Amino acid sequence: MLPYRSFSVHDPKERIIHSAEVCDRVVHQALVSTIEPLFEKFFIDDSFSCRLNKGSHAGVDRLNKFIKKVTKNGRTKAYVLKCDIRKFFDSIDHLILLKIIEKYVQDEKTIWLIKSIILGFEKSSGKGLPLGNVTSQLFGNIYMHVFDHYVKHNLKIKYYVRYCDDFVLVNTNKRYLEDLIPKMDNFLQKELLLKIHPNKISLRKVSQGIDFLGYVIFPHHKILRTSTKQRILKKWKSGLNEAQQNSYLGVLVHAKSFKIRQSLQIAKKA
């Protein structure tokens, strides 16, 4: 096992972060810089999270674009199926991940380094990646790109967006989306030893608003999720430096947020 520094964060739920030592993090970053361009050639356009110009805002914008297209700008009824993977990073199988990587990386020294990083951490026997490593984000995308291609090329799903282990599909046919759930879950279990979280499957009309990555998306606008607004207000009132304030204001720019911006201005003056 490689040495890791462990600590918990609450944003909003508690997560245990395992961070490598500084010297190891430098190596991890160098490895990502070297192999990420290779995998970018094979990633689909509709996968987001820890990719250049493909952060959470880009993921929300892509889903919003798909919703507008499928609903014909709100004139047609449509549905969004949203799922996520149960204990994603804890469940990633080391041998399956290495097998996927070895299809694309042939250099023996690079493979040796990748094996050292992957096998140097376990959440359970032969499984798990540490949340605090930059390599884990890339490895997670590599692992899930197998599923991405199954969805796009085997299931022929046109309107699909994935952000890390959260994924959404848009269609006008509710029953069609319902029938996809066991197909996707069977593939995940068989090929990647992952499971769709049974309590986090959501199938909603677009008109009800789609909760995704901190926003609630409607055909003609986006608003912040209520819990996100409450968290921002709480942190703002607790005292933030200018950079932190600008970061939260940047989140608000992407949504219909006049009232909460007023509240923040009032809190700032108080």
Torsion angles phi and psi, residue 7, rounded to 5: -155, 165
Q: How many residues does the chain have?
A: 270
Cβ proximity of 49 and 55 under 8 Å: yes
- Selection from 135, 144, 172 nearest residue 84 by Cα: 144
Which residue ranges of the chain lie beneath pLDDT 50? 1, 7, 9, 17
β-pair partners for 48: 163
Each residue of 215-269: pLDDT tens digit?
Answer: 999 888 888 877 776 776 777 667 667 777 677 666 666 666 656 665 666 555 5
Which residue ranges form the domains of the chain, and what is each CATH number? 5-219 (3.90.1850.10), 223-264 (no CATH)
CA dihedral 211, 216, 217, 218 (to 10 degrees): 110
Residue 3 pLDDT: 59
Which residues, 6+ apart, have CB-to-CB distance to 4 below 8 Å? 18, 19, 20, 21, 121, 130, 132
Residue 255 pLDDT: 67
- Selection from 11, 17, 14 nearest residue 231 by Cα: 11
Rounded Cα distance between 260 and 39, Å, is 40
User: Are β-strands 215-217 and 210-212 bridged in parallel, bridged antiparallel, or unpaired?
Assistant: antiparallel
Cβ proximity of 128 and 120 under 8 Å: no
Residue 223 pLDDT: 83
What is 217-239 written as a DSSP string? E-SS-EEE-HHHHHHHHHHHHH-
Rounded Cα distance between 248 and 260, Å, is 11
Residue 13 pLDDT: 57
- Selection from 249, 44, 32, 48 nearest residue 163 by Cα: 48
Greatest pairwise CA separation for the chain in angstroms: 61
Which residues, 6+ apart, have CB-to-CB distance to 58 below 8 Å? 48
Residue 212 pLDDT: 94
161 membership: H or E segment, kind and range: strand 160-163
